[in-house]
Amino acid sequence: MVILTLNCGSSSAKYQVYDWEAKDVLAVGVVEKVTFDGSFITHKAKGKAEYTRRRNCPTHTDAVNLIISLLTDPEHGVIADMSVIKAAGHRVLHGGDAFTKSVIVDDAAMEAFNGVKDLGPLHNPANIMGIEAAKKALPNIPHCAIMDTAWHQTMPPASFLYAVPYEWYEKYGVRKYGFHGTSFLYTAKRASVLLGKQPSETNLIICHIGNGSSVCAVKNGCSFDTSMGITPLEGLIMGTRAGDADMAMPFYVMRKTGMSAADMENALNKKSGLLGVTGAYNDRRDIQNAVECGDKRAALAQDMEARRVKKYIGAYMATLGRVDAVVLTAGVGEFAGFMRKKMLEGLEGIGIVFDPAKNALAHTRNAETRISADSSPIPVFIIPTDEELVMTEDAYALMAGTYDVHTKFTYSFQSKDYVNKSRAEGLRDDLAKLPALERIIALPK
């Protein structure tokens, strides 16, 4: 059985094709610059060289059609025709408070997704268009929505409510929803395996640090608090998002400049964060290069980002009381050692003892590693996320009728014997290049 997963972002469409029986990835890829000129697809099929094809994709429907054409391409494809695919999983950013778990997409679900489009204006329209395009191409299979917000539905009211008029919550759904749910689910379950604990016994602080970033406090295996809010704007300093700020500040700037509400929303989401501080960069690699060339604003941006992460780690330690591990994941968390160093140094007073030598070795998506000192009371793990696997397993279980909320459902990756075949192959190559990597690999207890 082959399962397709689609993750349509505001300007991209990621995909994975998974052979359920073989428990192996057949192909992965992404269409970038969707809705812009210069769109292109990067496609990697098992056993074949990476392939890039340029084709403008004015809409996400065009992007999905491009993906389908490449999956069945005689030279670069991995399936004979689309009838091989028996289920599809779709990432949906915002489900409001209507969804506590993944669901099979029906008319009622689509109506609900459309009803909360204004809560996720950058992502939900793209998610919906991707589902519609895939359903048109694959009308006879179940399409499953994997909700980014569902993981956080376990937060208590004291965590998810804002101190604003209560009727705003009752009438308009004004509350913290949180995002990166599939990433937090995967990394939380894997951290429990590494610790030798049941998820229900595990307290964690997970930092998903990418272009979009958030922190999740996990209590007894469930989301207890998170840094993102009613939209993904709240919380950490991100690539182009401001994160936490005085709520009166936008009104002050609007009065001074004459900016409209739409102008301000655009500025806070797309022109702020690291880009706003540096004036030029939102990619951490570019910022680090600028720092090394003496750019003071780039150095300031790094300091600001790291300090915000430290504040959330400290706050969530106080909230949880006991922390079994800190976890880093996503692009920056997995690869940007220079930022991990800034985020974790100096936390010895709260039980996190950082090891710079281990951190310097940790640069792989093919293994789970530990970068804290052996003497650290609280271990720090880097766990490469696998949102696509969560989507795949949810889709299969929904189709088979075995699915339930994550506290009552067991994923394959919760086993201490779980192996990701493609990552295991990649790790052999990594170890051949850097044998010292082996000493920081984290193994299940």
Query: Looking at the annotation, which residues are catalytic?
Result: 148
Q: What DSSP letter does each residue of 110-173 carry, written as one string?
A: HHHHHHTGGGSTTTHHHHHHHHHHHHHHSTTS-EEEEETTGGGGG--HHHH--SS-HHHHHHH-
Terminal-to-terminal C-alpha distance of the chain: 32
Look at residue 321 and give its three-state secondary structure: coil
User: Which residue do the tokens 């539905």 mark?
Assistant: 153
Look at residue 259 and give its three-state secondary structure: coil
Nearest residue to 16 (alpha-carbon basis) of 409, 422, 427, 425: 422
The amino acid sitting at 364 is: T
* Structure tokens that stand for 4 in this block: 């397709």
b/e per residue, 95-120, with b = 16+ CB within 10 A? bbebbbbbbebeeebbebbeebeebb
Nearest residue to 373 (alpha-carbon basis) of 410, 348, 343, 393: 348
Q: What DSSP letter does each residue of 187-236 carry, written as one string?
A: HHHHHHHHHT--GGG--EEEEEESSSEEEEEEETTEEEEES--SSTTSSS
Using CA atoms, how far apart are residues 411 and 226, in angstroms rounded to an integer? 23
Give ∠ CA 396-399-401 in degrees, rounded to 5: 105
Using CA atoms, how far apart are residues 30 and 14, in angstroms rounded to an integer? 4
Helix, strand, coil content of the chain in percent (nearest 5): 45, 20, 40
Using CA atoms, how far apart are residues 406 and 394, in angstroms rounded to an integer? 10
Using CA atoms, how far apart are residues 197 and 124, in angstroms rounded to an integer? 36
Using CA atoms, how far apart are residues 403 and 399, in angstroms rounded to an integer? 8
Question: For the chain, how many residues are written?
Answer: 445
